[in-house]
Amino acid sequence: MTTIRQAGVDDAPAIAPLFDAYRQFYGKPSDPDLAHSFIEERLANAESVIFLAVDDAGRAIGFVQLYPSFSSVSAGRVYVLNDLFIAPEARRGSVATELMAAAAGFARGRGALRLSLSTGMSNLAAQSLYERQGWVRDQQYFHYSLAL
């Protein structure tokens, strides 16, 4: 049985290897120290909310990370679901669904208007998961970024 819980700063060492693997999935080189310091800083400064999935043996097997934001047009809080990663050996179960449900429940509980996310165009498995859970691909807006 998987346990889903909100992570605290003491969970950074357990989350960091998953976060490092997540970054590698998106083409970044492995950097365990960077992964740990980044996660620890987000949690210590309450700059993100992380839900952690732990298996029966107490091993961290997945996480989802939310960043708070606001919509000016809608005049309300939104959360950006920025990171979702499940350890390969824990995939094909319900871990991702449970983490997504925890994220949505948390955001609803904070009065958020919506969750938003972006994923790679080639990440068909994630797109399928999101659409099965009722997420709708934006057909109205283009999203841009500026590298600094």
Q: How confident is the model at residue 147 (pLDDT cuts 50, 70, 90)?
A: confident
The sign of the CA dihedral 46, 19, 32, 24 is negative
Query: Do residues 39 and 16 make contact, with C-beta atoms less than 8 angstroms apart?
Result: yes
pLDDT tens digits for range 3-13: 999 999 999 99
Write down the pTM of the prediction.
0.90
Query: Do residues 24 and 16 make contact, with C-beta atoms less than 8 angstroms apart?
Result: no
Closest residue by Cα to residue 3 from 37, 54, 48: 54
Which ranges constitute the DSSP H helices of 91-143? Answer: 95-109, 124-132
Cα-to-chain-centroid distance, residue 114: 15
pLDDT tens digits for range 91-114: 988 999 999 999 999 999 999 999
Question: Looking at residue 20, what is its pLDDT?
Answer: 98
- Domains of the chain as residue ranges with CATH: 3-132 (3.40.630.30)
